[in-house]
Amino acid sequence: MDQPRKKVFVKEVVTTDQLGQPCDPISRVAVMAVIRNPLAGAFSEDLSELFEIGGSLGAELAAEAVAQLDGAPVSYGKAAIVGVNGDLEQGGAVIHPKLGAPMRAAAGGGEAVIPSNAKLGAPGCAIDLPLGHKDNPWSFDHFDTMTLNIPDAPKPDEIVLCLAYADGGRPIPRCGKGPVKS
């Protein structure tokens, strides 16, 4: 696997809601890696090369993101922006088959599916990376989003791989707790 062209880290520390109501601090950290898409420009049935990139690069990125949180990770999410010479399945191939295991390991476990998003885009394209509780997929308090972009990526033959973690849910959640598990 090639080295990423660059990595970009985004850290947010939320101390109030949008209206200024104070809350306990919540940190959210996203890491984005700009990688060369080895399958750009041609259709391929075999996406396994991208599976491997997601797994190996994901372990490194997940550890780096979790290390920057102020508390223990309780929610996570992943996304990919594929440059216009690629296709949407290539983004799915980077984030689905092998990325989950290293993300869960970095979070100290994770029973719930990791929320995800993928899209095609030009340089500067933004993506909404969904966040959800790592163990309880019905925790309404942890349904959240980070909007991410890199001004010069992805180039047509690149993919931006995005991972994010948070040490809390939304500030001052009031939508209920979700279905009760039996």
Which residues partner with 77 through β-bridges?
A: 164
The whole-number pLDDT of residue 106 equals: 97
Q: Say whether 41 sits in a helix, a strand or coil.
A: coil
Radius of gyration of the chain (CA): 16
116-120 and 75-82 strand pairing? parallel
* Per-residue confidence in pLDDT tens, the chain, 182 aa: 689 999 999 999 999 988 999 999 999 999 999 999 999 999 999 999 999 999 999 999 999 999 999 999 999 999 999 999 999 999 999 999 999 999 999 999 999 999 999 999 999 999 999 999 999 999 999 999 999 999 999 999 999 999 999 999 999 888 877 665 54
The SS3 call for residue 169 is coil
Helix (H, G, I), strand (E, B) or coil at 50: helix
Q: For residue 13, which phi and psi values (nearest 5 degrees)? A: -125, 110
Residue 1 has a pLDDT of: 65
pLDDT at 63: 97
Amino acid at 56: S
Report yes or no on whether pTM surpasses 0.85: yes
Cα angle: 173, vertex 148, 118; to 5 degrees: 95
Distance (Å, whole) CA 84 – CA 157? 7
